[in-house]
């Protein structure tokens, strides 16, 4: 049996010179897409979550009963005790908020980033142009990440105006590391599966549970946990950022490294996998 | 200009997906100018109109074209003029600020064609290009494609519409069951006068004479007859007799175009081969 061969020949002088898409200029459209489709929902969810947390915190601090007597005694005045209470509550809230915000930001930011274009057929016109899917989606991943961090900084400024200043470089690094961990994984899952957001929630849920159950296990199979996102490291990173103490760099690098590796895996899949589903 | 014809499910769109590297071959290789399809597309780009025009529904027409022009690598200095030219060429001026979801099927098809023509590509692939177009725009589309014709450019058109392919294509490949059945060269239309075929004849006066001259003529519509299995010489001789008897003819044409005849033969042959295997 002969091997099928299909060849289309274009005579040499006629072939248009090699060119490539203007992804730098196209990034402005990707920023716009992020703002409308991903940034706005992320902001709304973050503001709702923030409103609930901050209003509860302020209500507690400003309660008519006033701060407990031992705190007033310790800090010397009611106002000083209130400021201390607010600061302590704020640190706990910020640590919790960072974790939720990084996960939701990645979930919304990466939802369907590749799979929607494949499912809905948008890839056909996009990738008949002189652009590689890995370059196009790599740029989108970068744009989404930068926009997310800008959003995080804006929220931190807002929080600072209402409660107390929290915007520091370590805080942004902690948010970036958490986001990269989840988003890198989300990107790879979107390149693999059409059920990307569901897969991301499932993997994150499983990782959280399995790290808690077997994180300290001496069983040789526990090494397989390293395939899962290192979520057991998030708590100390977020807490350090919230308490404005030195970041645990090893954990930061684990989180960021895991996300970066997952992202590269996603790019490799895009490079080698066919875009059409059938 | 190369046509691709075939019944539903013959493999036309799959072949195009292979040529653009959207699908990989299960056996064999695909090469365009010596390059793997994805590599060719990523280096040179292809003007492509898919059978289903899928553009994000919230994009506005002019924004969609600007985006595609950037991805097509249109230089900054030409971006505005290229987009404006495509909008004008496809008559989308009054729809330029509409969102894609607000477009009718025909206008969406025109937008699909507009994005394919943003850059002067060496390879243009049009899958069912007149699908959803009204007769005016179908004709306009044919004019546009004729304007695109250049010796150094390859235009591949896949269509169910054999009449369209017969008008536009230089050669037409007939596919069925995922296999190439034959290639019909439309530039050298069969001039044989001995080949037997069916013809259609319409008259304005003297219908009774038609049956006298062609006793087996079959009435298929008012004052329109089909003459089965005749050579061109026989038809001409009969027509001469009709004219002599005072019949007034309004039309005479083959019942099936040369391409349609070839298509029927190829598909029938393919079906028999499938059954045999």
**Res. A61: pLDDT tops 90:** no
Q: What percent of chain A has pLDDT over 70?
A: 95
B272 touches chain A (CB under 8 A): no
Shortest distance, CA A105 to any CA of chain B (angstroms): 22
Gap between the Cα atoms of B80 and B128, Å rounded:
28
- Residue A68 pLDDT: 85
**Mind listing the pLDDT tens digit for each residue in A127-169?**
999 999 999 999 999 999 999 999 999 999 999 999 999 999 9
- Residue A24 pLDDT: 96
Q: Checking DSSP bridges between strand B197-205 and strand B179-185, what pairing results, if any?
A: unpaired
CB contact under 8 A, B44 and A127: no
pLDDT confidence of A215, banded at 50, 70, 90?
Answer: confident
Q: What is the mean pLDDT of chain A?
A: 92
Gap between the Cα atoms of A171 and A109, Å rounded:
20
Q: What is the ipTM for the molecules in this complex?
A: 0.89
Q: Which residue of B has its CA nearest to A124?
A: B50
Gap between the Cα atoms of A32 and A50, Å rounded:
25
**Res. A21: pLDDT tops 60:** yes
A/B interface, count of CB pairs below 8 Å: 138
Gap between the Cα atoms of B181 and A228, Å rounded:
52
List of residues 6+ apart from B121 with CB closer than 8 A: A16, B44, B45, B46, B47, B153
- Cα angle vertex A212, ends A211, A214, to 5°? 65
For residue B4, what are the CA distances in angstroms to A11, A114, B50, B172?
21, 31, 14, 6
Which of A125, A127, A272, A274 is the best residue to mutate to test the B interface, defined by the most B CB atoms within 10 Å of its own CB? A125
Fold for domain B191-258? Alpha-Beta Plaits (3.30.70)
- Residue A78 pLDDT: 87
Gap between the Cα atoms of A144 and A73, Å rounded:
49
- Residue B206 pLDDT: 87
Sign of CA dihedral A62, A42, A143, A198: positive
CATH 3.40.50.300 residue window(s) in chain B: 2-185
- Residue A9 pLDDT: 67
**Res. A15: pLDDT tops 60:** yes
- Residue B211 pLDDT: 92
CATH top class, domain B2-185: alpha beta
**Mind listing the pLDDT tens digit for each residue in A73-114?**
888 888 889 889 999 999 999 999 999 999 999 999 999 999
Least trusted range by pLDDT, from A185-189, A213-217, A247-251, B154-158? A213-217
Gap between the Cα atoms of B237 and B224, Å rounded:
18
- Determine contact, residues A46/A155, Cβ cutoff 8 Å: yes
- Residue B69 pLDDT: 97
- Determine contact, residues B57/B47, Cβ cutoff 8 Å: no
Shortest distance, CA B10 to any CA of chain A (angstroms): 15
HSE-CB of A243 using CA atoms within 13 angstroms: 12
Gap between the Cα atoms of B262 and B177, Å rounded:
16
Which of B41, B50, B54, B79 is the best residue to mutate to test the A interface, defined by the most A CB atoms within 10 Å of its own CB? B54
- Residue B83 pLDDT: 97
Token pair of B128 as six digits: 């069912």
Chain B residues lying within 8 Å of A14, measured CB to CB:
122, 151-153
**Res. A14: pLDDT tops 80:** no
Q: Which residue of A has its CA nearest to B66?
A: A26
- Residue A147 pLDDT: 98
- Residue A146 pLDDT: 98
Below-50 pLDDT ranges, chain B? none
- Residue A40 pLDDT: 97
Q: Which helix (H) or strand (E) holds B30?
A: strand B29-32
CATH 3.30.70 residue window(s) in chain B: 191-258
B113 touches chain A (CB under 8 A): no
Gap between the Cα atoms of B214 and B105, Å rounded:
45
Gap between the Cα atoms of B67 and B74, Å rounded:
10
- Residue B268 pLDDT: 80
- Residue A239 pLDDT: 95
- Residue A163 pLDDT: 93
pTM to 2 decimal places: 0.86
Q: Which of B20, B21, B122 is facing A16, going by the closest CB pair?
A: B122
Least trusted range by pLDDT, from A24-28, A37-41, B17-21, B181-185? B181-185
B120 touches chain A (CB under 8 A): yes
**Mind listing the pLDDT tens digit for each residue in A250-276?**
999 999 999 999 999 999 999 988 888
């Amino acid at each position: 049996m002969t091997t099928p061969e299909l060849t289309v020949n274009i005579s040499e002088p006629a072939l248009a010179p090699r060119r490539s898409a203007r992804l730098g200029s196209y990034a402005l459209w990707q920023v716009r897409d992020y703002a409308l489709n991903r940034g706005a929902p992320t902001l709304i969810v973050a503001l709702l979550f923030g409103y609930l947390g901050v209003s509860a915190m302020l209500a507690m601090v400003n309660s008519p009963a006033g701060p407990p007597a031992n705190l007033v005694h310790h800090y010397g005045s009611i106002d000083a005790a209130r400021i201390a209470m607010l600061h302590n509550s704020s640190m706990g809230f910020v640590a919790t908020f960072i974790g939720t915000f990084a996960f939701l930001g990645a979930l919304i930011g990466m939802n369907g980033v590749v799979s929607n274009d494949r499912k809905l057929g948008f890839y056909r016109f996009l990738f008949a142009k002189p652009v590689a899917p890995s370059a196009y989606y790599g740029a989108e991943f970068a744009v989404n990440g930068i926009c997310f961090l800008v959003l995080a900084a804006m929220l931190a400024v807002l929080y600072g105006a209402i409660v107390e200043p929290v915007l520091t470089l370590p805080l942004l690094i902690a948010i970036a590391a958490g986001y990269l961990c989840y988003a890198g994984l989300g990107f790879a899952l979107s390149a693999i599966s059409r059920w990307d957001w569901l897969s991301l929630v499932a993997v994150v849920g499983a990782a959280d549970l399995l790290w808690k159950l077997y994180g300290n296990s001496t069983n040789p199979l526990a090494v397989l946990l390293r395939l899962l996102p290192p979520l057991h490291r998030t708590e100390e990173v977020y807490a350090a950022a919230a308490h404005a103490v030195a970041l645990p760099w090893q954990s930061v690098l684990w989180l960021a490294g895991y996300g970066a590796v997952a992202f590269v895996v996603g790019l490799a899949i895009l490079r080698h996998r066919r875009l059409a589903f059938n | 200009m190369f046509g691709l014809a075939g019944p539903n499910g013959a493999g036309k769109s799959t072949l195009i997906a292979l040529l653009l590297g959207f699908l990989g071959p299960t056996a064999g290789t695909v090469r365009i100018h010596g390059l793997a399809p994805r590599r060719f597309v990523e280096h040179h780009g292809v003007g492509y109109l898919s059978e289903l025009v899928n553009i994000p529904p919230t994009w506005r027409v002019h924004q969609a074209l600007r985006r595609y022009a950037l991805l097509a690598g249109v230089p900054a200095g030409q971006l505005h003029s290229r987009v404006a030219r495509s909008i004008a060429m496809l008559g989308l001026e009054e729809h330029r600020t509409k969102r894609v979801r607000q477009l009718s099927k025909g206008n969406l098809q025109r937008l699909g064609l507009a994005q394919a023509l943003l850059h002067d590509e060496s390879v243009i692939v049009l899958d069912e290009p007149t699908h959803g177009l009204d007769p005016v725009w179908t004709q306009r589309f044919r004019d546009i494609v004729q304007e695109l014709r250049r010796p150094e450019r390859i235009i591949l058109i896949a269509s169910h519409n054999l009449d369209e392919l017969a008008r536009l294509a230089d050669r037409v490949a007939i596919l069925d069951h995922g296999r190439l059945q034959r290639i019909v060269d439309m530039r050298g239309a069969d001039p044989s006068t001995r080949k037997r075929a069916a013809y259609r004849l319409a008259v304005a006066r003297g219908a009774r004479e038609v049956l006298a001259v062609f006793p087996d003529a079959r009435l298929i519509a008012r004052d329109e007859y089909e003459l089965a299995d005749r050579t061109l010489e026989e038809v001409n001789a009969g027509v001469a007799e009709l004219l002599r008897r005072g019949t007034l003819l309004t039309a005479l044409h083959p019942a099936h175009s040369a391409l349609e005849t070839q298509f029927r033969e190829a598909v029938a042959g393919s079906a028999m081969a499938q059954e045999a295997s």
